[in-house]
Structures are given as structure tokens and as C-alpha cells.
Structure 1
Amino acid sequence: MTIKDINNKIISDARIQAEKIIAQAEDNANNITKKGKKKADNIKNKILYKNNQEASLKKSKILTEAKLEAKKTILLEKQKIIEDVFGKALESILKLSDKDYHYFIKKLILDNIEIGDETIFIGSSDQRKISESFIEDINKELK
């Protein structure tokens, strides 16, 4: 073999070796890229999962707060209605004639007596309307 042939052989072997090195480097680069993409996808999925969990918790919290606020509003409205009804009932009771008032109070007392030795407390505004004879009438009916 001549020097030129040896030289050509060395150059040819070097090219083959260089092509192998380049192919191996490209494979390594592709593998690194794939691993990087896979790692990035894993990180992205973890972030998305975490954000979805947080969003779900926030949504649940907002819904719970809204439901509680709605219940609170309903309770306040019910309380207003009850206060209004009691106010109107009291107003109606106060407008009763003495005869109707005595009948109402007497029925109220008799319907709510359980054993017969209850104590009845009379408010200062009712003391003018309820006399000793009225109490005695009730006591007679209990016997």
C-alpha cells in the first residue's frame, strides 16, 4: 500500500469514526431531550394537579360560604316574620275588650296548666286588667 492509500484509509476511518461519534452524540442529545420533555411533562402535570386541587377547594369554600350566607339571610327573614306576627298578635290582644281579654287569658291559663299548683306572674300592664276575682274564678274551675 502506498502512502496515499494509507492516508486515504486513515481519512476514511476517521470519517467513519466521526460519523459514529456524531450519530452517538445525536442519540444522546435526543435521549436528553426526551428525558427533559418527560421531566417537564411530569412537572407540568404536578402543577396542574395542584392547581386543580386548589381550585376545587376554593370553589367548595365559596359554595359553602354562599350557602351559609343564604341560610343566614333566610333565618333573618324568618325572624323578622316571627317578630312581625308576634307584634301583630300582641297588638290584637291589647285591642281586645275586657270581656274578650279575660276569656283569652282564662283559656290560655287553663289550656296550659299541668298539675294545678303553678305560679302565674302578671306583668305590670296586665295587673290593672286581672283582678283577684278573675284569679278566684280560674281557681274554682280547676277544682
Structure 2
Amino acid sequence: MNAEQVVKKILSEAHEQAEAIAQDAQQKRQRQTQQLDEELSAYRAETERLANAAAEDRRSRMLAAARMENARAFLAAKADLLDEVFGKAQERVVKLPDEQYRNVMIRLMQKAVETGDEEVIVGKNERRIDDGFIKQVNRSLGAGFKGNLRLSDQRADIRGGFILARGKVRMNAGVEVLVERLREALETELAARLFG
């Protein structure tokens, strides 16, 4: 083989090798591109899934917050309505006709008296519980009670009712306190009836 043929053969083999290397590189690039496309597609799907999950989580949190706010507003409205109901109850007791009011107060005082020697403190504007009323209560006290209730010169900041005082011990039977005790006893039942 002459030199020219040897050179041609070397060039031909080099060309074939270059073609094989180029083909191999092309196949490798296609495989890598396909793998990258698959990874990118999986990344996009995962990103979309995470975005949807985050949106759903945010939506759920917003709904929960809205429900809590509605529940808070409902409870506040309920409390306002109950306040109004019990406020009107206080007002009705204070505005009872004199005879009814005195009858209610006599029964309350008879139950509240411990010794019959207490001092009766009334509200600043109380006109229906007076000395005559106290004498009537003293006469109505049963056996075992002294019948020495007396009206105090001291006045309390109550709308109606009275406070019995014996030494440092005081028993508040003011209308506000009585209605509040009634509220504690009836609030659950009343709320069930009103909002059932």
C-alpha cells in the first residue's frame, strides 16, 4: 500500500470514527434532553400539585377563619340579646306597681334575714322600702327571728331591692344582683329556647 492509500485509509477510519462519535453524542444528547424533559414535566406536575395543595390549604384556613368570625359574631349577638332580656327583667322588677314590688321585696327579705337584727340598706332613689315597710316585715318574721330590722341612713348604689347588713357581713339582694343570679341559673335554658 502506498502512502496515499494509507493516508486515505487513515482519513476514512478517522471520518468513520468521527461519524460514530457524532452519532453517539447525538444519541446521548437526545437521551439527556428526553430525561431533562421528563424531569421538567415531573417538576411542573409537582409544582402544580404543591400550588394546588397550598391554595386548598389557604382556602381551608380562610374558611375556618370566616366560620370562627361568624361564630364569634353570633355569640356576641346572642350575648347582646341575653343582656337585653335580663336588662328588661331588671327594669320590669323596678317598675312593678308599688304593691307588687313590696310583696316581692317582703318575700325576698323574709328569705334573706338570718337573725332579724340586720340593718336594711336601700338604693339612693328607693321610696317604696321605708320604715312602714320594715315594720311590716318585722311583724311577718317567724319564730326564731328577733324582728329588729331597721332602715339604715346609708344608701347604696342599687336600682332596687336592698342589702342586709349585720356587722361586716352584707347580703346583697339588689335587683341587679338578683337578676344576675337568675341569669346564671337560667341562661343556658333561655339560650336554648331563643337560639335552639
TM normalised by structure 2 equals 0.53
Distance (whole Å) between structure 2 residues aligned to residue 79 and residue 53 of structure 1: 38
More strand by share: 2
Matched-pair contact (CA < 8 Å) for 1:116–1:142: no
- Return 5+ residue gaps in structure 2 as ranges: 145-196
Change in CA separation of 1:55 and 1:104 when aligned onto 2, cut-off 3 Å: same
Distance (whole Å) between structure 1 residues aligned to residue 87 and residue 20 of structure 2: 99
Change in CA separation of 1:38 and 1:134 when aligned onto 2, cut-off 3 Å: farther
Change in CA separation of 1:105 and 1:53 when aligned onto 2, cut-off 3 Å: farther
| Percent sequence identity over aligned pairs | 24
- Return 5+ residue gaps in structure 1 as ranges: none
Q: Which residue in the other structure is 2:102 paired with?
A: 102
Q: Which residue in the other structure is 1:25 paired with?
A: 25
SS state of the match for residue 123, structure 2?
A: coil
Q: Which residue in the other structure is 1:44 paired with?
A: 44
RMSD, aligned α-carbons: 3.5
Change in CA separation of 1:23 and 1:110 when aligned onto 2, cut-off 3 Å: farther
The total of aligned residue pairs comes to 139
Q: Which residue in the other structure is 2:167 paired with?
A: none
Shift of 1:29: 0.5
More helix by share: 1
Distance (whole Å) between structure 1 residues aligned to residue 41 and residue 28 of structure 2: 20
Shift of 1:129: 1.5
Question: Residues 1-143 of structure 1 correspond to what in structure 2 (within 5 A)?
Answer: 9-10=9-10, 12-108=12-108, 116=114, 122-126=122-126, 128-131=127-130, 132-136=134-138, 140-141=141-142, 143=144
Change in CA separation of 1:52 and 1:107 when aligned onto 2, cut-off 3 Å: farther
Distance (whole Å) between structure 2 residues aligned to residue 24 and residue 110 of structure 1: 111
